[in-house]
Structure 1
Amino acid sequence: MKWLGTLATVTCGLFALAQGAVVPIKDPNSVAAVDLTAVNPHLTSANFTAATTQGTWFVKFYVGYCPHCKRLGPIWQKVADDLKALKASHNYHMGQVDCVTEGAFCNQQNIEGYPTLFVYRDGKPVEPEYLQPYKNIPITAYVKAMAEKYKSAVVVAPPVPADVPGTTSVEAPPATSAAASAPAPATTTADKTPAKPVGPYNKQGMSVPLTAANFGTLTKEGPWFIKFYAPWCIHCQHLAPTWESLAKSLVGEINVGEVDCVADGALCNDRGIAGYPTLRFYLEGSYTTFDGERSVESMHKFALESFGTQHKEVETRHELDKNTAGLETWYLYLFNAQAAPRYLETAQRAARATFMQSNFFTSQDASLLNGAFALPRTGAARATVPGLWVFKDGFLRPYSGALDNFDQVKTWMAAERYPLVPALTTQNADGFFDDADLVVLTVLDTDSRRVRAGQLEAWKREIRQAADDILVLRTGESALNPTSAVVRTGSSGVSDPAAAGSYHLSETRRKFLAGGQNIVDVPAGPEGDVVRALRAQRVRFVWLDVDVWDKYLHRVFGATRDGLPKVILSRPQDEVYFDHHADGRPLQLTSAQDLVDIVKAAVAEQLPARYSAGFLVGLVRSIFRSISRTTAYLFTHPMTFLFLLAVVGAVGYYYMKGGLPGQAYKPQKLD
């Protein structure tokens, strides 16, 4: 029975893989030039040619799960560190390509196994593949030989002043100009710039080790930028010195910490950490994930923007319109001299906790809204002072809770954070895929050279109508025909339907509300089953720009640019998606009603499912899901379980006693 144990071990391993497999969303635009001063940088399809045309490059192509790659990793890094002087003396560099994230590019380079090592010049391999032992001495000897063979002049870039934005080096060189090497004149007190006072956070300029014992206590107060990592993770090892430099750069501004997920696995599991490294910014009990370029500059900017404490006070309608132009959602706090300061403090805290501080405005002039919106003189929607408002989907909605209750204000801001159908960005992707049971993605072409005038807005209108129909079915409320909101006015002072986004009552809403039906009433038959299923799920709609997300869509869903606008429905918790009808036709956006029908079909399990984690993981999950369902059925039907157990026991007993009638054991000698 050894094979049974082996099978169980392999199956459990695959199940663990299935449980842990994730497809992180990365910023599709986070491409930066390679820093030629870096030791062993990561190369991508976007920067490979530009890098390898500058000098000679010894490149390692690898995948993280390959045992040989894992053994080579520290050896490769040590050789790169030991021979880093060759960059300056011979213009010879060492780099690496992760073929998990750059699979298509590795295929273009004809990489057939891992690890694969090649020497490149002018963007092309110039030597046969390195086939010597993956050990320190032979690799070192090979590197030195190739460096001598292809020795070339080093192009020295002009120095960059330390305070110029846009630099990406991890640590500034000790001198920023040739003059820095000259003897420095004696300085006086008047020559020195006073030191910048250190703020209340990160006073030591270091990354604080966080554990299960101190995580909750320390992160309760102030902003924290935290790295969740595993010591064996190659990407984590490369990030380590950059993270230390980041902590120094944020001294006095943002707390920086790190969690070792090997030593504190339970802490990381409790927080849903599924890949390494994971970088999160925590504030007021909430977090947002950083998915951009892991340079000091990018992470520093992200941290400061995430914590931004300054709200914008507006005084005129022109100023309000200017500041809110292009914002899908924004908040306005109206107050006067008599308003309690704690109201503003609470609203500011809530805006930071929901990472909407850049969309948060204040004003002491209630007449601002009277000019921009058709505010009634009485009722809940009148411009009360102090008061908190949100604008989205063409409507202004008031907050009706206590202004000094932080939890209530935060919950309200979080619920109102996104419009009915936002554009997917790297900033909001976490919220959508972490907080939804079903995400309806519509892929659109936004290029005016390929799309006729007005078509893009027409598509968005159909998506919004479908999203509103589903919202009505789920909650009995409409975002596009709300009962407790104020419509924006045009320059003439009358309601502007285009700006307000006023939509007709769809057939779905008419049917649902016909005959005095409300949220308690459910239609009979299959339609009622769909409504009940919808109410049990969190459904969100979002649209994607194909030019921005095409690589991600292809990698995760196998989607191409053909057949736009196309529809993909994702169940992120199960890593399952739907992109075809039951008859094999691809899902496409043709009308709002068709999109509603697609969502209903997905909820009713009438669409064929695919696995974004891959076929093998999907197969294993299907098996274990079937086992789980069977187990659940048996435990909820104990008599059936006992009967089947008795049958299996009887058959087993009979077999052990001599087998079935008419069958005999016939030993046969094989010569």
Structure 2
Amino acid sequence: MKVSWFGWSLLSLLAVPTLAAPSESGTKVGNRLEKRRNNRGIDAEEPSIFNGLDVPPLLQLTPDNYEELLKDGTWLVKHYSPTCAHCRKAAPAYQTTYEYYYTSNPLSPSSAKSPDPKSLNGFTKYYNFHFASMNCLAHGDLCEKLGIGAYPIFAFYEEGVQKDKHVGAKSVADLSKLIEEKLEAIRPGSRPPQGIKLPEVGAPGVDSSAEPDSPVAKDKDPQAGALAGEKQNDLVAQKAADASSAMETSKPGSVVTVKTKHNGPPPNPQGLSVPLTAESFQKLVTTTQDPWFIKFYAPWCGHCQAMAPNWKEMAKEMKDTLNIGEVNCEVETRLCADARVDAYPTIYFFRGGQRVEYTGLRGLGDLLSYTKKAVGPGSEIEDVDAATFKELEETEEVLFLYFYDHATTSEDFRAMERLTLSLVGHARIVKTSSAALAERFKISTWPRLLVVRDTRPNYYNALAPKDMRDFRQMLSWMQTVWLPIVPELTASNAREIMDGKFVVLGILSRRRSDDFKQSKRELKEAAFEWMDKQIQLFRLERSELRDAKQLRIEEADDRNDQRALRAAKNMRITIREDEKKPVAFAWVDGDFWERWLRTTYGIDVEQGDRVIINDEDNRRYWDTASSGAMIMASRTSILETIPLVIASPPKLSPKSTIGTFETFFFYTRSFLSSHPILFFVFLGITVAVVTIIGRGRLLRRVTTRGGIIGNANGSGGFFHLDGKEGFLNGGSTGKVD
């Protein structure tokens, strides 16, 4: 009993220090916070903790490191003296402000969850914004060199250059106001329009999801919307982004056109991709006529991350030229849903509340090529004369030309203006009232629309005035002719070129410059001759149909058959183009697409320029002429082979671009899609035949083997009623009752 009492006493004594001792982490946190609160005059030399995250001590600038550090990004530097009473008073507020922003979430400032401060989504790397201090008592010469004559002074440095200074003690709210303006300039639209919840001086954290104490000045008017992008323009151009319209008359006696002149700053003045929120998107994109090129992305998307450097560089190249923006769909889910974004990244070109999707490649050159084309036709249709149009023909492969006169109505012009957005990245449209151009293209009615490809015109067939105001009908026609006569095959236009056509595809190499020019010229000449031949055949067929109609009319007139005469006169001459699969021409860069050409067509570009005729719908192609030789890049070889290929059935044997196993499924799917009723009838017959055969075999098996009891002859089955071997008759007596 005594031993037991002694043991319990000893155990309780050992437990006392265990229960009383605080945890090591708790001690560390308490010491850090206590040291930070007690050390009011001098910046802390050890890390602190804010919102549960470690915060490194403020960087101290010295003559040895300040140039190297300040040359990158934006810096807020506190210039102070340890002996200055105002500096000691301002130190805790500056430290708390630094801790708050260092641990904040830039992607969602109102979120209570903070990312890793050292990650790409952390505050420092997201804004490239830094905090530092400079002890002017220790480095007086450096402070004097920087123009620091009083303490404390809070100065902003951008790329190593001092921008502005603010003198005197500052509270957390004062410092935050200065910082918020800089953050808006760095990434317009990224700050919350409702303001932020600021911590108390010396507090170990703050609830970021709480309502702000007071709204930011820029958002006191709830009807004003998000002014983030406008603030960026204000800071750069020193004026508000106001637009005014001026009426200008292009020529005496010509139609008066309205041109919008922007007196405000140029687009994208800083060469940055602007993060957009739902509010700033509504204010800057939806309700303005300014063009925007915007990507919708998710931070976790691998394709988005791979495209990010090219997008950033493209935004820099488009400085003062085109607005570039981005929307984080992890944060702005409603905005992305309204934009019908279902894949990342999705890229749109916006203007005047309308949009067109960019579906090209995501390389820097591809993005720049598209944006440079978007700048011209995306804003205003140029009015040209004969000389200007001649110059444009030398640089543009495809040109749409809109003829107008003094009687052209505003409704006609509005329909034409709506076409520009859809043409971005494809072709250019200009307008004219030039008599010389009207004479050249034999224009006798206005307004009139045509396309010029390699100096060859093609006219939009408007049967009535309303057809020139039907935006969708005009756009449908434009989509059939906005490619050059011999376009280059790329990833963005491959489907448009290959689907539904026989394509004469020239496989060329730019490395052989002389051969490249010659082969491309031969392809164009072959295309021109083929088009001329098709026009002649069309006219001949139409003439034959007209002659047949006239013959019927004369025959009915000779018989004095009024009924047959009316029927003959009402006959419509129709040439069914949909029954004929068209022939198109294109060329592909054999060096760039070498692997695809080798694996799909078995062609090595090193062997010289080649031509194939591809039928993508049926996964087949032809690469040899009637002589058995390869189709060469010459008009003679091409024009001799085309009729043999497009004949029904083809007179030359094709090759397949897919394997045997894939071919079976391809033709099965093609048969199902082309003849669905016949397929289901065949499927029903097959199922019925299989069912009948199966039932017949089962019936024969039952008849042969008998039932469970056995056959009539006593064989088969489990039981023999008249024998001795069955289950019921296997006893030892051998008797049968």
Q: With the length of structure 2 as denominator, give the TM-score of the two structures.
A: 0.44
Q: Which has more radius of gyration?
A: 2
- Tell which has more relative contact order, 1 or 2 (C-alpha 8 A, sep 6+): 1
